[in-house]
Amino acid sequence: MIAPEFFYAALVVAIGGLICILRAMIGPTVPDRVVGVDTLNTLVVAGMVLLGAAYDRTIYIDIAIVYAFLSYIGTLVIARYLQGGLR
Amino acid sequence: MGLIVKTSARAIIPLIGIFGAYIVMHGHLTPGGGFQGGATIAGAGILFLVAFGLDEMRKHYNKNLYSALEGIGGLAFLGAAMLGMGVAFFYNTLWHNGPFFNGKPGTLLSAGFLPIMNLAVGLKVFTGLVSALTAIALYRRWKS
């Protein structure tokens, strides 16, 4: 059963995610795109938590936690590459 | 990398490791399982490599130990599959008449050999991914 208020909140987060995708597509430089993707990751975590509340499943929160960890690692790897790579 | 990244990595690496171990152990109750948990713990290894650099990783990474652990993971999976060989291959004898892992369905110690297989696959995936990424990072210099 979908709880409508959480579902509408997830819809608002999805609109923000579309704007982030726009920035990642048209960003003139590489750091612009990285910031766009990083913001999109955070919005996806928020959307996962909201959808877990909307569908009334507690176990979906685990996936949001793992996604938050892995998006941090992904952004860190790109930052490490942009500043000159390993060594 | 910088001081902030190193300090936050010191705080986050145990969190990722514990959460990955949770995913592996609860593979028969919640989403996830051996591969997903193992890949999450391998993410902690990648965070160590990225945050502390290649020299620190070379000090803490033991090729023979990781290779042996990957083989042990595969052998434990095969051993759990062979447990019910009296009836059939992959027969879940721990669940039907085993001494342990045969609790009420929905609890942690249930589901027969599935927790053992999840632990084996998690160990194999973690050691395999960390070995592969460390080997790629150590590959050679840029010019041949």
Q: Can you give the pLDDT at residue B31?
A: 85
pLDDT on residue A71? 92
Predicted pLDDT at B27: 85
Q: Is B12 on the interface with A (CB under 8 A)?
A: yes
Helix (H) or strand (E) segment spanning residue A2: none
Residues of chain A with pLDDT under 50: none
DSSP state of A87: -
pLDDT of residue B126: 92
pTM to 2 decimal places: 0.83
B14-27 mean pLDDT: 91
- Secondary structure string (H, E, C) spanning chain B: CCHHHHHHHHHHHHHHHHHHHHHHHCCCCCCCCHHHHHHHHHHHHHHHHHHHHHHHHHHHCCHHHHHHHHHHHHHHHHHHHHCCCCCCCCCCHHHHHCCCCCCCECECCCCCCHHHHHHHHHHHHHHHHHHHHHHHHCCCCCCC
Is a pLDDT exceeding 80 seen at residue B103? Answer: no
Distances (CA, A) of A34 to A43, A48, B45, B69: 14, 21, 22, 36
With a cut of 80, say whether residue B79 has pLDDT above it.
yes
Q: To the nearest whole percent, how much of chain B has pLDDT over 70?
A: 97
Facing residues of B75 across strands?
A: none
Interface test with B, best of A61, A76, A83 (most B CBs within 10 A): A76
A59, A65, A76 ranked by CB distance to B47: nearest: A76
User: What is each CA distance from B130 to A67, B40, B63, B80, in whole angstroms?
Assistant: 19, 11, 10, 24
B39-72 residue pLDDT tens: 999 999 999 988 888 888 888 888 899 999 999 9
Q: Give the pLDDT score at A1.
A: 64
The reply to whether A69 touches chain B by the CB within 8 Å rule is yes
Predicted confidence band of residue B82 (pLDDT cuts 50, 70, 90): confident
DSSP state of A86: -
User: Which chain A residue has its CA at the smallest distance from B15's CA?
Assistant: A69
What pLDDT is attached to residue A87? 61
Per-residue pLDDT, B144: 61
Å from B36 to nearest chain A CA?
Answer: 10
Q: Which residues of B touch A76 (CB under 8 A)?
A: 1, 5, 47, 50-51
Give first-to-last CA distance, chain A, whole Å: 52
User: Rounded to an integer, what distance in angstroms lies between the CA atom of residue A8 and that of residue A4?
Assistant: 6
For residue A41, which of A53, A33, A4, B47 has the smallest C-alpha distance? A33
ipTM for the predicted complex comes to: 0.81
pLDDT category of residue B104 using cuts at 50, 70 and 90:
confident
Q: Is B81 on the interface with A (CB under 8 A)?
A: no
Using CA atoms, how far residue A14 sits from A17, B99, B137, in Å, is 5, 50, 36
- For A20-84, the DSSP string reads HHHHHHH-SSHHHHHHHHHHHHHHHHHHHHHHHHHTT-TTHHHHHHHHHHHHHHHHHHHHHHHTT
Q: Does B53 touch chain A (CB under 8 A)?
A: yes
Handedness of CA A26, A30, A34, A37 (dihedral sign): positive
State the amino acid at position A9 in one-letter form: A
